[in-house]
Every structure is written in structure tokens, then in C-alpha cells.
Amino acid sequence: MSLGMSYKPNLNAHIPGTPLNPAGGVHSPSTSMATSAQYRQLINDYGPPSLGYTQGMQGTSSSQVPQSKYAELLAIIEELGKEIRPTYAGSKSAMERLKRG
């Protein structure tokens, strides 16, 4: 399990440089902004796992896979498809049961 999965930010922790709110449970807007910025930084550091390659630009989506990887996976799927046989192949009793429904 990665750190990103198990880390839970403490939303009630006081952030240095922001005033403590006397109301206790209600955060001031500046505290909320700092917390969301910290959360975004956490996502950038420990974010969704890549598929074995690094992203070139931060604006690109992690779902974009290079064409060579896509072609490689297609070739593997086609190769596996040749080896897979239905369970009833070559069995007369299984085919008869299948026909009867």
C-alpha cells in the first residue's frame, strides 16, 4: 500500500501564520485555502500510480497511454485469445447440455 492511500491529512491542525478561530470547529477561509493547497500538493506527490512511464507535462491526463504500449497490449490479448478454448470444446455431453439450455 502506498503512502498516498493511507495518509489522512489532519484538517483540524493549526497552520502556522493563520489566526486561530475562537469558534473552534469553523475554519476561516484562509485556513481552508491553505489546507486545500496542502492536499493538492499531497496528490501531486503521492498521486495516482502511473502505468510505468512518467508524465511529460503536468497538464496531461494520466489516462493517456503511449501508442506503443497500446499496440503491445493488443498483441498480447490476440495471442492469449488463440489459446483460450470454451469449456465445451471437444465434449459431446457438454455441447448437448448447452443446446438443451
**pLDDT grade, residue 37 (50/70/90)?**
low
Helix (H, G, I), strand (E, B) or coil at 43: helix
pLDDT for 84 equals 66
Out of 36-40, 56-60, 65-69, 84-88, the most confident range is 65-69
Q: Decide if pLDDT at 79 tops 70.
A: yes
Cell of 5: 492511500
Q: In whole angstroms, what is the distance from residue 85 CA to residue 78 CA?
A: 13
- For residues 14 and 24, is the Cβ–Cβ distance under 8 A? no
The angle formed by the CA atoms of residues 9, 19 and 42, to the nearest 5 degrees, is 20
Residues 48 and 64 sit within 8 Å (Cβ to Cβ): no
Position with higher pLDDT, 16 vs 79: 79
What's phi and psi for 98, nearest 5 deg? -65, -40
